[in-house]
Chains A and B, each alone.
Chain A
Amino acid sequence: MQELLQYLFSGITNGAVYAVIALGFSMLYSSTGLINFAHGEFVMVGALSLISLWKGLKIPLPAAFAVSVAVTAAAGLLLERLALRNVRKPHPIVLVIITVGASILIRGIAMLVWGKDSHSSPSYSSHPPIDIAGATLLPQSLWIIALTLLLVLGLHVFYKRFLTGRAMLATAINKKAAAVVGIRTDTMVLLAFAMSAGMGGIGGALIAPLSMSSFDMGMILGLKGFCAAMIGGLSSSWGAVFGGLLLGILEAMGVGFLSSGLKDASAFVLLLLILYFRPTGLFGKAVVQRF
């Protein structure tokens, strides 16, 4: 029983991070129809930036967190503006290859800046692990869950209450119609990229204390986040969150009860199951669905 609880805790923790990453994928896909293969690298940049700023330069945590996210958002902005904007014939596969090239580029830059070593990050608070019914809950897990909830709620409010948020939603639903009513769709796309990248950065900053970070950590995290987004349904934000949590929990259960070697495979097995039985994802619909 306490084992189950332990797996549940670690599953929800990882799941929350996957959820944040998946949100980034899902939001970008909803707004632009594009799948960004460089998204995992944004996660990596967020994690390593946090470590450099907080542990390295001793900048206080809230500021370091904010700057890391800003850096990642800026990277997303640059990607859109410099690379994706200028494509002559925006065939989806061409854009995907550009994001692949961008992921290699970002990884190359990261390798220069942070080297090939792994870096560790201290937990957000120095509180000792909490014992609940024999299972250990790390304080970092609580931070992750709390901040993820905050992010999700924040996005909900943004889309419901703020004009910019509703404008983004409109652009996602129908770009031409949004342009007709006077929304600057180009700016909305740019904003979507920046927000999506920023969310990747948040995911990275959250996961940094959990395990070692290195310049090549982004690939597998990005892939898992992508699977989570597909499982939940690419066009649904709640789906991305649910998909992330589901993936995290099932992955932890698989590692605990079956074999740790299969950890990475669980995401993709789940993906395939969803594709076979419900391709649009658990919450996905043909129409773009939001919070």
Chain B
Amino acid sequence: MRYLILIAAVLAAGIGLSSPYQLQLLTFVGINTLLAVGLNMLMGYAGQISLGHAAFYGLGAYTTGVLTVHYQWSPWSALAAAIVLTVICAFLIALPLLSLSGFYLGMGTLGFGMIGFVVFRQWSSLTGGDSGLVGIPALEIGPLSFSSPRSYFFLVWAFAVLSIFLCERLIDSRIGRALRAIHDSERAASSMGIDTGRLKVHIFVLSALLAAVGGFLYAHLVSFISPSSFDFLVSVRMVTMVVIGGMASIWGALLGATLMTILPETLTVFHEYEMIVYGLIMIVIMILLPQGLFRGVLDIYEHARKKPGRTSAGSRG
């Protein structure tokens, strides 16, 4: 049911809108949805935090950028390479850290995120350093070229909807139940025989993979990438998308991605007050709806529905 609404909305927007700006904005929403959905799996279900996910996002973007620009690879081969590279890096990062408990993974991801950012900046022979990497080609499948805003919009949202579907299937599976068990109580889950360490590593790698795919799509959308798009603030923004949307909620991730992408654009009317308003909104949302917007709005709806009739027939659902 929700899928129908989403696909209908995507189709309506893709066909109905004609302004390149609006189409591109919604394309960014799609890319951010990929990022948020992956991170939500890690944060909401596996209960870990990643403060450096922009590094995977950047890894995806720079891998495809470097391979297509410097070595003339085809973009789709570059995508495969980006995925492989990201998976390897994510394994290397997660394996030693996830054996520890507590927030150490979060700290480790912070370190890696920053180091990744420095590498993007310093390895200028490969990445162009601060000046960035230009000339990233557009995507095409056979005769279909995805260079127009509308076609790219549909391409990105195809990926986004697919990722939402895959993650929902995952949540509904044995793995998903194991994840939710870990989230509720890692020790209890472990004593039931769930290999918590291994599962957390796998989900971390999955979230990194989705971020890398997002980076790939981003690079070919804007054809020019620079390190400043992958700094610590971007990592923080990704985390914020997940938390504001609602953790342990894939659709919440979609909501959070949408809000956090579109909100800064609407705030430009405030000119120099933009940052103040943005920060205030974040604070207020977290104070009033700490469970995230998705769950929060649903709670309000359910609460309002119960009120008129004092007797609530049946369960809250």
- Tell whether, in the assembled complex, residue A101 and residue B279 are in contact, meaning their CB atoms are under 8 Å apart: yes
Residue B244 is within 8 A (CB to CB) of chain A in the complex: yes
Please, how many angstroms separate the alpha-carbon atoms of A106 and B277 in the complex?
11
Residue A227 is within 8 A (CB to CB) of chain B in the complex: yes
- Tell whether, in the assembled complex, residue A109 and residue B276 are in contact, meaning their CB atoms are under 8 Å apart: yes
Residue A161 is within 8 A (CB to CB) of chain B in the complex: no
Given contacts A93-B49, A98-B283, A101-B282, contact A265 B118 (CB under 8 A): yes
- Tell whether, in the assembled complex, residue B114 and residue A97 are in contact, meaning their CB atoms are under 8 Å apart: no
Neighbouring A residues of B118 by C-beta, 8 Å:
261-262, 264-265, 268
Neighbouring A residues of B233 by C-beta, 8 Å:
219
Q: Give the number of residues in B that approach A within 8 Å (Cβ atoms).
A: 42
- Tell whether, in the assembled complex, residue B280 and residue A105 are in contact, meaning their CB atoms are under 8 Å apart: yes
* Residues in B88-140 with C-beta less than 8 Å from chain A: 96-97, 100, 104, 107-108, 110-112, 114-115, 118-119, 121-122
Chain A CB within 10 Å — which of B43, B114, B122, B278 has the most? Answer: B114
Please, how many angstroms separate the alpha-carbon atoms of A262 and B123 in the complex?
11
Residue B273 is within 8 A (CB to CB) of chain A in the complex: yes
- Tell whether, in the assembled complex, residue B108 and residue A275 are in contact, meaning their CB atoms are under 8 Å apart: yes
Q: Smallest Cβ distance from A29 to chain B, in angstroms?
A: 11
Contact of B283 among A89, A102, A111, A272 (CB under 8 A): A102
- Tell whether, in the assembled complex, residue A83 and residue B275 are in contact, meaning their CB atoms are under 8 Å apart: no
Given contacts A264-B114, A268-B110, A269-B115, contact A105 B287 (CB under 8 A): no
Please, how many angstroms separate the alpha-carbon atoms of A273 and B247 in the complex?
30
Neighbouring A residues of B232 by C-beta, 8 Å:
219, 223
- Tell whether, in the assembled complex, residue B275 and residue A111 are in contact, meaning their CB atoms are under 8 Å apart: yes
Residue A125 is within 8 A (CB to CB) of chain B in the complex: no
Neighbouring B residues of A91 by C-beta, 8 Å:
290
Neighbouring A residues of B107 by C-beta, 8 Å:
230, 271, 275
Neighbouring B residues of A88 by C-beta, 8 Å:
287-288, 290
Residue A162 is within 8 A (CB to CB) of chain B in the complex: no
Chain A CB within 10 Å — which of B110, B243, B286 has the most? Answer: B286
Residue A256 is within 8 A (CB to CB) of chain B in the complex: no
- Tell whether, in the assembled complex, residue B290 and residue A89 are in contact, meaning their CB atoms are under 8 Å apart: yes
- Tell whether, in the assembled complex, residue B244 and residue A97 are in contact, meaning their CB atoms are under 8 Å apart: yes
- Tell whether, in the assembled complex, residue A111 and residue B286 are in contact, meaning their CB atoms are under 8 Å apart: no
- Tell whether, in the assembled complex, residue A83 and residue B278 are in contact, meaning their CB atoms are under 8 Å apart: no
Residue B211 is within 8 A (CB to CB) of chain A in the complex: no
Given contacts A101-B286, A102-B279, A102-B283, contact A279 B115 (CB under 8 A): no
Q: Give the number of residues in A that approach B within 8 Å (Cβ atoms).
A: 42
Q: Smallest Cβ distance from B59 to chain A, in angstroms?
A: 16
Q: Smallest Cβ distance from B107 to chain A, in angstroms?
A: 6
* Residues in B118-177 with C-beta less than 8 Å from chain A: 118-119, 121-122
Neighbouring B residues of A111 by C-beta, 8 Å:
272, 275
Neighbouring B residues of A98 by C-beta, 8 Å:
282-283, 286-287
- Tell whether, in the assembled complex, residue B282 and residue A268 are in contact, meaning their CB atoms are under 8 Å apart: no
Neighbouring A residues of B273 by C-beta, 8 Å:
108, 112
Contact with B along A220-251 (1 / 0, CB 8 A): 00010011001000000000000000000000
- Tell whether, in the assembled complex, residue A272 and residue B279 are in contact, meaning their CB atoms are under 8 Å apart: no
Neighbouring B residues of A112 by C-beta, 8 Å:
272-273, 276
Q: Smallest Cβ distance from B235 to chain A, in angstroms?
A: 11
* A-B contact list, 16 entries, CB within 8 Å: A89-B291, A90-B290, A97-B240, A97-B282, A107-B275, A111-B272, A223-B110, A261-B118, A265-B115, A268-B112, A268-B114, A271-B108, A271-B110, A275-B104, A276-B96, A279-B104
Chain A residues close to B by CB (< 8 Å):
37, 83, 86-91, 93-94, 97-98, 100-109, 111-112, 219, 223, 226-227, 230, 259, 261-262, 264-265, 267-269, 271-272, 275-276, 279
Known: A93-B243, A262-B122; 11 extra A-B contacts, CB below 8 A, are A89-B290, A94-B243, A97-B286, A98-B287, A100-B239, A102-B279, A105-B275, A111-B275, A230-B107, A271-B107, A271-B110
Shortest 7 CB-CB contacts between residues of A and residues of B: A108-B275, A105-B279, A101-B282, A104-B279, A108-B276, A265-B118, A268-B111
